[in-house]
Amino acid sequence: MTVQHLNQLLFACSLTLLLAVAAVRISSRSGLPSLLVYMGIGILLGQDGIGHIRFDSAAFTQVFGYAALVVILAEGGLGTKWKQIRPVLPSAAVLATLGVAVSVGVTAAGAHYLVGLSWRQALIIGAVVSSTDAAAVFSVLRRVPLPARVTGTLEAESGFNDAPVVILVVAFSAAGPVERWYLLIGEIALELAIGAAIGLAVGLLGSWGIKRVALPASGLYPIAVMAIAVTAYAAGALAHGSGFLAVYLASMMLGNAKLPHWPAIRSFAEGLGWIAQIGMFILLGLLVTPHDLADDVLPAVVIGLVLTMVARPLSVLFSLLPFRVPWREQTLMSWAGLRGAVPIILATIPMVNGVDASGRIFNIVFVLVVVYTLVQGPTLPWLARRLRIGEQQPASDLGIESAPLERLRGHLLSVAIPEGSRMHGVEVNELRLPAGSAVTLVVRDGKSFVPLPSTVLRRGDELLVVATDPVREAAERRLRAVGRGGKLAGWLHTDADGAEGT
């Protein structure tokens, strides 16, 4: 490759990224998941579009898709709150295992009897489309004010169900008949257990190390966190466990560990997540050949109807029956089983393995994902309102960034008071910070001053709080409690998260 070719490639890539970033605005205003916009860009650049780019490497798409999914799961795990997901872990685990089995069986039966596919092809499609997509779930649900139980269950399910689905797709795509299929259950359980153990161990060790090692530059903290997350995936995969489950759990532990420079870490992870989504979806758009899709539209719609209206509701019903989830929430979770790039990436496995009619399987899955994402994504907020499922927005949480002062054995906390914070109107002495911590500076309207004990804090203020190492976490908990509960947080027995006790 010459320098001229490199310059042309860089120009094309940068222009594509700028176009994709601009498309985020379209996605956010229309309520459509971003995958549709990015896939559209890929199709426009492909051989049937204006770019006339010929790309047909299913193997490269699969590898790139796996790498992108690791980044997306890491970003999703970093943004998942443990207090929200902890109560729903059992139901999410059952939904990601038993629910997947029910969905695969019902969808495969529909594909075989209604569309006429062979049992092998039907089982592959059933397994491929039974995985909810982490990127689609994270991007759509976090814009809808749903109860924590619903959001937590769906996010955990999307992080957990990739492992069993990948095992099933690989098994169904292998040469020859699937012998001793009942052993797949033990294999799935073993891979999940190994992945969970490695993910929790890597997340625990990683968070412990980052909080105790002062790196020379703040920009190294986001890189270190993402490196730990990728290490969890690699370690899980090398140990023949679920690398996807490992990276999600490790990232979730890191995201709930109150790491230094957390806003910078979160922003960096979000940026990488967007790049991974953009690249993955555009590549999938390039791989598909639009003029070959016409014959597969009707089969895709029929299989999608079976999946959406029968298989998904039955999987939710049987999985959540022991947990006594209200029928309204079950209805919403049935409709919110969003599919995205993950099923399309999994559809490349039979292509790489040379399964008969694998091209048709890929086309059916592609059309199914596009059509039903177009229907489900924008209608989810409407359905939540019709079912009267929602919750009042809580008080805005504080943005607290901690910078370790290693030689002084302390921490400098940068606290931003947002619009919805109940810290507005609270005097500095009413914060009642623990001994060993104090507000040393207030920045207001671009001007900084040393506050008095009677200084009243306002929305938009930025505070610098110095805390010694032993009381840093207690100071953060107190600041967040006041931010959510106001000056009476302690008197009302409000905990660190601002939830009033009894």
> pLDDT tens, 470-482?
888 888 888 988 8
Please name which of 259, 265, 272, 275 lies closest in space to residue 219, comparing C-alpha atoms: 265
pLDDT confidence of residue 397 = 61
Q: Which parts of the chain register pLDDT below 50?
A: 392-393, 493-502
Cα 229-232-235 angle, rounded to 5 deg? 150
pLDDT confidence of residue 501 = 36
* Structure token digits, residue 452: 């008095």
Residues, the chain, total?
502
Strands (E), 406-502: 410-416, 437-444, 447-449, 462-468
Please name which of 68, 70, 77, 66 lies closest in space to residue 203, comparing C-alpha atoms: 77
pLDDT confidence of residue 174 = 79
Q: Residue 69's CB: how many other CB atoms inside 10 A? A: 24
Alpha-carbon span 495 to 109, nearest angstrom:
51
* Structure token digits, residue 265: 């870490």
Alpha-carbon span 161 to 144, nearest angstrom:
22
- Whole-number CA gyration radius for the chain: 24
| Burial (CB count <10 Å: 0-12, 13-18, 19+), residue 452 | exposed
Write down the pTM of the prediction. 0.75
Alpha-carbon span 416 to 424, nearest angstrom:
11
| Burial (CB count <10 Å: 0-12, 13-18, 19+), residue 163 | buried
Terminal CA-to-CA distance of the chain, rounded, Å?
69
pLDDT confidence of residue 299 = 93
Per DSSP bridges, beta strands 447-449 and 399-405 are unpaired
